């Protein structure tokens, strides 16, 4: 996987912003191009045509079905970030998680 476009979604985008930053560093180390950004839930729709995967913060798990329906026409994978990755701001783990979901 040479190019990967990930969007993280949480309330205000603050904690997911730190996680995105760490994941960008991990991607750079691995030579993976693309984008890893964090946005609030209200902004997600405007990014669906340019991402491969939408990852929701654990506290947004209840939005997974709704977001999956929105993302389906764009063939965007939607999943919830495991609490262990989110809580530790584990950029490497997030990257591994995203890649594993896209390979299914």
Helices within the chain (DSSP H only): 14-30, 64-71, 83-87, 91-102
Nearest to 38, CA basis, from 58, 63, 18, 53: 18
For 25, residues 6+ apart whose C-beta sits below 8 A from its C-beta are 91
Rg (CA), the chain: 12
Could you say which of 10, 23, 81, 85 is catalytic? 10
Whether 9 is a known active-site residue: answer no
3-class DSSP assignment, residue 38: strand
Q: Catalytic positions, please?
A: 10
């Amino acid at each position: 996987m040479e190019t990967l476009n990930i969007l993280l979604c949480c309330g205000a985008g603050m904690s997911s912003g730190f996680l995105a930053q760490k994941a960008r560093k991990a991607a750079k180390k691995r030579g993976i191009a693309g984008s890893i950004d964090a946005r609030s839930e209200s902004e997600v729709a405007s990014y669906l045509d340019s991402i491969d995967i939408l990852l929701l913060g654990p506290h947004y798990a209840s939005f997974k079905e709704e977001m999956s329906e929105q993302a389906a026409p764009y063939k965007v994978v939607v999943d919830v970030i495991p609490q262990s990755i989110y809580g530790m701001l584990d950029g490497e783990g997030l990257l591994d998680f995203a890649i594993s979901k896209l390979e299914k």
